Chains A and B, each alone.
Chain A
Amino acid sequence: MTPALELADVGVILGGRPVLTGASLVAVPGEVLGVVGANGAGKTTLLRAALGLAKLETGDAWLGGRPVDRLSEIERAGLAGYLPQERRIAWNMPAWRIAALGAPHLSPREAHQRALAALADMGVGGLAERGVRDMSGGERAKVLIARLLVTGAPLLVADEPAAGLDPQAALTVMEVLKTKAEAGAAVVATLHDLTLAARHCDRLAVMSAGRIVAIAPPTEALAPAVLAEAFGLDGELIATPSGWVVAARRLA
């Protein structure tokens, strides 16, 4: 199976400082790959490098088996949809129009229909006509995720899709992404909530200081040694009747 996304020994330097070093990673169709790590560990840079938005100092990045720097804009959009962390929306457009921006090459009618479906998936179908700047931050975040779904791309890359959401909304986001993966998409998402990551991701890439220190299923990736190295936490992953919970006892 062709990986949806592949990085080989990728290094990125920003402002003279290496922010990503020797990163190698593969995301395949059907899986949700979580990227976790402390603030500043290089998670966003990893995503940007994979999408051709950051200049690579070393290594190579491929989308759908093709070098990302040789893709035209339309080819790249056909291979990957991206939800940046930045959630500012410049104008007070109705939610459905924002969501429809995910499919600029479809007819307006089709884009409209897809937008309404994606908004309904995200549980904000009733807000389709409301201006996005008249919404709460959480509602706006859901509209932006709907925009990502509308792309219909085989690889969905989401930077902090669950950040700032209440628990129920965060679960909705993860469930929807999981559904997309089950339908054949590859999903790569950075996450801050380790419990959420442990429960909803098939694999986790753990980052620390610009390096990927572990890529494995959650039980391995969040082993005590990794939690100590990547997060400075003395803690562990605990099985409870309702699923995995990451418990931190103290700072490592």
Chain B
Amino acid sequence: MRLILLLIFILAASLALAVAFGETPLSVAQYAQAIVHPATAVGEILWGLRAPRAVAAALVGAELGLAGAVMQGLLRNPLADPGVLGVSAFAALGAATIIALGLAKTPGVIELAAMSGALAAGAIVAILAGRLREPETLILFGVALSALGGAATALAFNLSPSLITTSEMMNWLLGSTAGRGWGDIGAAAVPTLLGAGLCAYAARGLSMLTLGEEAAALSGLPMARLRAAAVAGAALLTGAAVAMAGVIGFVGLAAPHLVRGSVSDDPAKTLAPSALAGASLLVLADLAARMIPTAEELKLGVVTALFGAPLFALLAWRASRSWRA
């Protein structure tokens, strides 16, 4: 509980920073004005632009942190992330296809396509997860699905009708929360809550899987249902994250590791802290993306990858030592 409170405090502080700082420097008087009169131009910068963007980043980070913790628990693998079973690749494929077809102008269509792609892949994986109990086999199928999704996305690039659509696709796939408003956050609420609910339901099954499939099968828990719920929940969350902000790597991988030691490694108890940690990570990464002075704003997916890749290497190094034990 202390950990949860600490993480909530860190998230609140991160959100406050993200609302307070941005490209437009403001004076103390302007901050005061924005707080007292939200309906002014300065108020609009804080509450209409920065705040929803920060909350969107927090939501995506929480979705990825939770989905990552679920995947690591389900697959009993510290290197699993929300994309490991091909869900992100198919979400990206859904979005890229819509852009390539020139349908991106209609509001909400890209998001819907990303979500549909995630759910399609999630359904395939959920069916497989019911049959293939060994996590290694599931991971192999996930690698195959990811490769297929990636190849089909490359095909969409290849067949892209114009440079403009190609650049649109590229922009979208690199991941960003720029321009996200309160409406987008509201639209993401349903899949997020549903996904989180499924993950919470699956939590005790994840702890039980620590003992391996055979012991879990005789534990008295409805493992087939819990496993399917874990996959479906993670797919919904990952789909919602990709629909909101494109493909953002490493948050879902890193967040569970940041908190695991504080919850005695129990997969069920990793879920909520991992979601909170993921939220803070992405809010701060998004703030960095906005504040690092480059000609064009850095993409959020690029920032997380730049910081995340070295972390991934470090995790792999440390994990390899515990595997030898």
Contacts and interface: CB of A to CB of B under 8 A. Distances in A.
Q: For chain A, give the interface size range.
A: 20 to 34
A92 B267 CA distance: 10
A147 B214 CA distance: 14
B223 interface: yes
A250 B222 CA distance: 50
Pick the most buried of A80, A90, A94, A133: most chain B CB atoms within 10 A of its CB.
Answer: A90
B264 A93 contact: yes
Interface string B145-156: 000000000000
Contacts of A147: 211, 215
B24 to A, nearest CB: 46
B27 interface: no
A76 interface: yes
Contact of B210 (A51, A78, A80, A89): A89
A81 B218 contact: yes
Contacts of A105: 220
A84 interface: yes
A81 B214 CA distance: 11
B204 to A, nearest CB: 6
B132 interface: no
A149 to B, nearest CB: 14
Contacts of B207: 101
B322 A73 contact: no
Contacts of A81: 218
A90 B215 contact: no
Interface in A191-230: none
A91 B219 contact: no
A73 B222 contact: yes
A82 B218 contact: yes
Contacts of A91: 76, 210, 260, 265-267
A95 to B, nearest CB: 11
B196 to A, nearest CB: 21
Contact of B220 (A76, A86, A144): A76
Nearest to A91: B265
A104 B218 contact: no
A53 B215 CA distance: 10
B53 to A, nearest CB: 36
B271 interface: no
A83 B265 CA distance: 22
Interface in A168-191: none
B211 A89 contact: yes
Q: For chain B, give the interface size range.
A: 20 to 34
Contacts of A86: 212, 214-215
Pick the most buried of A84, A91, A102: most chain B CB atoms within 10 A of its CB.
Answer: A91
A82 B322 CA distance: 27
Contact of B264 (A76, A94, A101): A94
A104 B204 contact: yes
A23 B197 CA distance: 45
Pick the most buried of B212, B214, B260, B322: most chain A CB atoms within 10 A of its CB.
Answer: B214
Given A73-B222, A98-B210, A133-B322, A53 B266 contact: no
B266 A93 contact: yes
B270 to A, nearest CB: 9
A97 B220 contact: no
B103 interface: no
Nearest to B208: A101
Nearest to A87: B212
Contacts of B204: 104
B220 A101 contact: no
Given A84-B212, A89-B210, A101 B219 contact: yes
A97 B220 CA distance: 17
B215 A83 contact: yes
Interface of B: 76, 204, 207-212, 214-215, 217-223, 260, 264-267, 322, 325
Closest 6 CB pairs of A and B: A77-B220, A90-B76, A91-B265, A82-B218, A84-B214, A92-B265
30 contacts: A48-B214, A53-B214, A73-B219, A73-B223, A74-B222, A82-B215, A82-B218, A84-B212, A84-B214, A86-B215, A89-B211, A90-B212, A91-B210, A91-B265, A91-B267, A92-B264, A92-B265, A93-B264, A94-B264, A97-B264, A98-B210, A98-B211, A101-B211, A102-B219, A104-B204, A104-B208, A104-B220, A105-B220, A131-B264, A147-B215
